């Protein structure tokens, strides 16, 4: 198949999207339903309309960009990713899968190929957990992994509900209408940067994902006793921050002690109240991210954390409450989809490795409703979620080519 992936066009679009951001380059910030997110959505929809594709949006802003096949009644083949970006992040996480997916469709169209099954590019709403505290909001709703009641229970930092925010952004309708049935798609393939160092280290241009790690995130509230930093003597203190610090270290120890390199745990948020130099902390809030490719090992880390919280609470005379925000199963990718992408690599003499994904993606939830896999491309030093995140035009073009031919085979 002679495909002309227009790398210059794709690089320009990636660069244009990168500057639609709440903060100056090279950092990127595009929080779901913010003015920058809405600007980027409008820009993307225009790009897709210019490519002659049909565009529709659901009640939470998941956007479906469709290339009608010759047998439109058959379940379509889908690809896609996200364009929301956490603060101080990079310009390739997610965007490579959306703009690379668009370029894959345009290259196929321009080659004269006609798919039997329609091919649909999906821009998922809020893959990042930034605004509502949970990742993959759009794909969770699509796959039935999240109760639509979250419409009124999820609130952002300003206390606004998901319903208020999404409807003022123009996305109306009942949230339950976002649900797609199993079988709605015949397959899903997501192109994404690896967000790890393995492909670059091995000098391999393509990774094909066989499994996606099981993520969990927890909110931990520690309530102690505050007081005057000079007057409260050490033996009588119930310092909420120091208790929280011990809990964060216990979480690190839990991850390091499983014996598996796939066990990771992060305390990424720590808020101290009242947060004054001469006042003993009376309250501390932690947010912890705990993952492993093995779900039971991940649950073992959570159990260790719960034990540590009880021990610290008793010894320090503080109250600790744990809220599990999400605790998802890992996903196994579909062997037939994996094999199709591997065949494409072999046919083009492109080396590829089978690998797991330690980051979570919308594919984690798409795998619940259709056969799914991912195509990874290398990113420099494995860096991601940082402004210096980088993937070369050649790597992106190669990933886009493999995606295009994989979609063509699946849609034929």
> What residue ranges bind ligand HGY (CB under 6 A)?
127-128, 135, 359-360
Confirm if 65 and 48 have CB atoms less than 8 A apart. Answer: yes
Q: Does position 194 bind Mn ion by CB under 5 A?
A: no
Hey, is 151 helix, strand or coil? helix
Tell me the sheet residues that pair with 57.
63
69 binds, among ligand HGY, Mn ion, none (CB under 5 to 8 A by kind): none
Beta carbon nearer to Mn ion, 93 or 223:
93
Closest distance to ligand HGY from the beta carbon of 27 (Å): 16
Beta carbon nearer to ligand HGY, 117 or 140:
140
Beta carbon nearer to ligand HGY, 204 or 216:
216
One residue of 94, 129, 205, 215 binding Mn ion per CB under 5 A: 94
Confirm if 180 and 369 have CB atoms less than 8 A apart. Answer: yes
Beta carbon nearer to ligand HGY, 239 or 289:
289
Q: Does position 97 bind Mn ion by CB under 5 A?
A: no
Confirm if 357 and 333 have CB atoms less than 8 A apart. Answer: no
Cα separation, 132 vs 32, whole angstroms: 9
CB contact set of 2 (below 8 Å; sequence gap of 6+): 111
Hey, is 84 helix, strand or coil? coil
One residue of 37, 58, 84, 93 binding Mn ion per CB under 5 A: 93
Confirm if 399 and 363 have CB atoms less than 8 A apart. Answer: no
Q: How many CA atoms lie within 13 A of 95 on its CB side?
A: 33
Closest distance to ligand HGY from the beta carbon of 90 (Å): 11
Q: Does position 29 bind Mn ion by CB under 5 A?
A: no
Q: Where are the alpha helices (DSSP H) in 79-222?
A: 95-110, 137-143, 150-153, 162-168, 198-202
Confirm if 363 and 78 have CB atoms less than 8 A apart. Answer: no
Closest distance to Mn ion from the beta carbon of 129 (Å): 9
Beta carbon nearer to Mn ion, 185 or 360:
360
190 binds, among Mn ion, ligand HGY, none (CB under 5 to 8 A by kind): none
135 binds, among Mn ion, ligand HGY, none (CB under 5 to 8 A by kind): ligand HGY
Segment lying near Mn ion (by CB under 5 A), choices 89-97, 138-146, 169-177, 234-242: 89-97
Closest distance to Mn ion from the beta carbon of 6 (Å): 23
Rounded to 5 degrees, φ, ψ at 54 are -85, 140
What length is written for the chain? 412
360 binds, among Mn ion, ligand HGY, none (CB under 5 to 8 A by kind): ligand HGY
Cα separation, 128 vs 100, whole angstroms: 19
Closest distance to ligand HGY from the beta carbon of 39 (Å): 21
Q: Where are the alpha helices (DSSP H) in 257-355?
A: 295-316, 335-347
Beta carbon nearer to ligand HGY, 89 or 304:
89
Beta carbon nearer to ligand HGY, 127 or 292:
127
Beta carbon nearer to Mn ion, 94 or 378:
94
The pair of structure tokens assigned to 361 is 């993606």
Closest distance to ligand HGY from the beta carbon of 387 (Å): 15
Closest distance to ligand HGY from the beta carbon of 127 (Å): 6
Confirm if 77 and 403 have CB atoms less than 8 A apart. Answer: no
> Which residues would be at the binding site for Mn ion (CB under 5 A)?
93-94
């Amino acid at each position: 198949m002679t495909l002309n992936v227009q790398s210059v066009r794709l690089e320009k679009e990636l660069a244009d999207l990168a500057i639609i951001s709440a903060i100056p380059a090279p950092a990127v910030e595009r929080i779901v339903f913010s003015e920058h997110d809405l600007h980027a959505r409008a820009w993307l929809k225009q790009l897709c309309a210019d490519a002659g594709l049909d565009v529709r949006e659901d009640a939470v802003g998941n956007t479906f960009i469709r290339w009608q096949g010759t047998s439109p009644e058959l379940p379509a083949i889908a690809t896609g990713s996200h364009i929301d970006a956490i603060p101080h992040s990079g310009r390739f996480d997610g965007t490579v899968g959306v703009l690379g997916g668009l370029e894959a469709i345009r290259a196929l169209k321009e080659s004269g190929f006609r798919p039997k099954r329609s091919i649909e590019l999906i821009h998922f709403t809020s893959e990042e957990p930034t605004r509502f505290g949970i990742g993959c909001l759009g794909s969770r709703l699509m796959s039935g992994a999240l109760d639509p009641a979250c419409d009124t229970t999820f609130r952002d930092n300003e206390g606004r509900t998901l319903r208020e925010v999404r409807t003022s952004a123009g996305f109306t309708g009942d949230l339950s209408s976002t649900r797609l049935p199993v079988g709605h798609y015949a397959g899903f393939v997501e192109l994404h940067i690896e967000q790890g160092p393995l492909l670059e280290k091995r000098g391999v241009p393509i990774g094909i994902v066989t499994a996606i790690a099981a993520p969990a995130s927890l909110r931990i509230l520690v309530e102690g006793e505050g007081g005057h930093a000079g007057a409260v003597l050490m033996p009588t203190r119930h310092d909420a921050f120091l208790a929280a610090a011990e809990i964060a270290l216990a979480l690190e120890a839990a991850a390091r002690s499983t014996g598996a390199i796939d066990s990771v745990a992060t305390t990424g948020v720590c808020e101290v109240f009242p947060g004054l130099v001469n006042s003993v902390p009376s309250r501390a809030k932690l947010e912890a991210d705990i993952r492993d490719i093995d779900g039971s090992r991940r649950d073992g880390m959570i159990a260790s954390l719960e034990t540590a919280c009880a021990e610290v609470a008793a010894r320090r005379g503080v109250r600790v409450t744990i809220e599990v925000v999400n605790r998802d199963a890992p996903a196994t990718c579909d062997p037939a989809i994996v094999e199709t992408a591997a065949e494409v690599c072999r046919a083009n003499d492109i080396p590829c490795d089978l690998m797991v994904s330690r980051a979570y993606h919308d594919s984690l939830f798409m795998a619940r409703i259709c056969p799914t896999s991912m195509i990874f491309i290398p990113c420099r030093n494995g860096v991601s979620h940082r402004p210096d995140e980088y993937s070369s035009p050649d790597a992106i073009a190669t990933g886009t080519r493999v995606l295009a031919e994989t979609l063509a085979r699946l849609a034929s």
